[in-house]
Amino acid sequence: MNELLRKCNEILGLKEGASKEEIVGAFRSLYAEGTSDAGNGGIEQWEKLKEIAWAKDTLLAHLPKEALLTASGVHPETKAQGGALPHNPPVGGHTGEVSSRGVPWWLSSAAVMALAILLCVLFYVYKPALFKSRPAVAAKGTGVVQQAQAAADDGAARQGEPPSQGRESPQLFQEVKKAVVTVTFGNQLGSGFLVSPEGYMVTNCHVVNGVKGSARFSSDEVVDVNVIKIVPDKDFALLKAARGVAYPFLTLGDSDLCHEGDTVIAVGSPQGLPSTFTKGIVSALGRRFVDSAATFIQTDAAINNGNSGGPLINTAGQVIGINTLTMEKSVAQGLNFAIAINDVKGFIDDGEKLTESERSAQTSQIEFKLKQEEIKRDERERQMKERMAELQRENDRHFGEQVEAAKEHVAALQKRQALNQCLGEAASQYQAGWQEGCRRSLLPNNCMLPQVTVDRLKGAWLANQAECLKQYGE
């Protein structure tokens, strides 16, 4: 086999001596596969199709005439006997005319090349119209961040540019803050975030102390809100704006897909400062606390008073938690907790499905639950105050005991010091008596006092010691 035929067989994936049917079949299969991917492959894919057509034409041109006739449906014996040709579809350039190569004109290399050029032109002319993104729509499940991303990608498509692969943090913050609100109920202030274009909002139950409140947006717009649902043991509350539609909202993520070390951002109004962002990581997952049925995500992203009810988001702008708890800074730093969003998704769906009449019917139940929670909070505060008072009394008693013990210790030291001083003075008097007696003696250098004098001095010394022990002894 010459090198040319070997190359053609290799292109079509055929063995040496392939029949016309095998050649045409291989060509049609490869051609159909190539044209289906032509929109993705560009010029290189069309060049491959041209090469397939050239290989097919070359192999057919080198086939014996008998092979061509047999492949066209005419048996050699029939031809030799002068029999009529069986009925077959036209295979030449015109009806009833047979090509010398035995293939349709539309499979020739020239026709394939012309078709490839035409398709290339159509592809590049109409590419923007074929592949552009649909405009972002404020529909459930597409949050404000994702809408902005879709709009950016749509604009890029119009310019023939690839979609963006990510968003810078400042852009992310600007989109997220549109859907985060400062929630106020009487003298209670917290945070919240919208979860639907109809104005449904999520916050903590402990932020709510009535069935009506208000929400302030980052634009300073204030809307009245009604409490739709509360779940005290999950510290969850669902609110709804009393008016308006097409609100910006955040997409709920999947908290089960979080991992320790993931970057997260806490958003809210700590100390009443709206649109505050703090960044950290997921420190731990699945934390639980006494008197709570919720599962918590632990993070070192700063959470302070006023952050309660705000969203904990991932770097894609999806909500994975509700900021809820923080450890006292005097006790520990960087221990903050958010309720896992998967714990409350079902409550959000249930609340959004309620009709207007069902909401009205539940108002009294919500008021009753809130009153119960208020009573529980008051009882907890009372118990806390009593506990704090008891701790204070215990501390005062312990401190008093320590003060008394210290006083007794000081008094004992002072008494011991006075005793030592008294005994020292008694010894000094005894020595002074000896010295005075020796000075008056006839032999001062070899003093020998009379026994009566010695007895008198020792008696005085012992008397003084007894007086010291009596006065300062233990």
Residues 150, 142 contacting (CB under 8 angstroms):
yes
State pLDDT tens for residues 32-75.
777 665 555 555 667 777 788 888 888 888 887 555 444 434 33
**Structure token pair of residue 11:** 């292109």
* pLDDT for res 116: 66
Q: Residue 260 — φ and ψ, nearest 5°?
A: -60, 135
- Closest among 219, 226, 220, 218 to 243, alpha carbons compared: 226
* pLDDT for res 76: 37
**Which residues of the chain have a pLDDT value below 70?**
1, 35-45, 65-114, 116-142, 147-168, 442-446, 474
Q: Residue 128 — φ and ψ, nearest 5°?
A: -60, -40
* pLDDT for res 450: 83
Domain 173-353 has CATH 3.30.460.80: no
Q: What does the alpha-carbon distance between residue 73 and residue 79 come to, in Å, rounded to a whole number?
A: 11
187: left (phi over 0), alpha (psi -120 to 50) or beta: alpha
* pLDDT for res 313: 96
194 forms beta bridges with 201
- Closest among 145, 161, 141, 142 to 153, alpha carbons compared: 161
Domain locations in the chain? 3-131, 173-353, 358-472
* pLDDT for res 448: 77
- Closest among 392, 411, 388 to 400, alpha carbons compared: 392
Other C-beta atoms lying within 10 Å of the C-beta of residue 153: 17
Where does 286-355 have alpha helices with state H? Answer: 345-353
* pTM exceeding 0.85: no
What DSSP assignment string belongs to 145-198?
A: HHHHHHHHHHHHHHTTPPPPS---HHHHHHHHGGGEEEEEETTEEEEEEE-STT
**In what helix (H) or strand (E) does residue 239 lie, and over which residues does it extend?**
strand 236-241
Other C-beta atoms lying within 10 Å of the C-beta of residue 194: 26
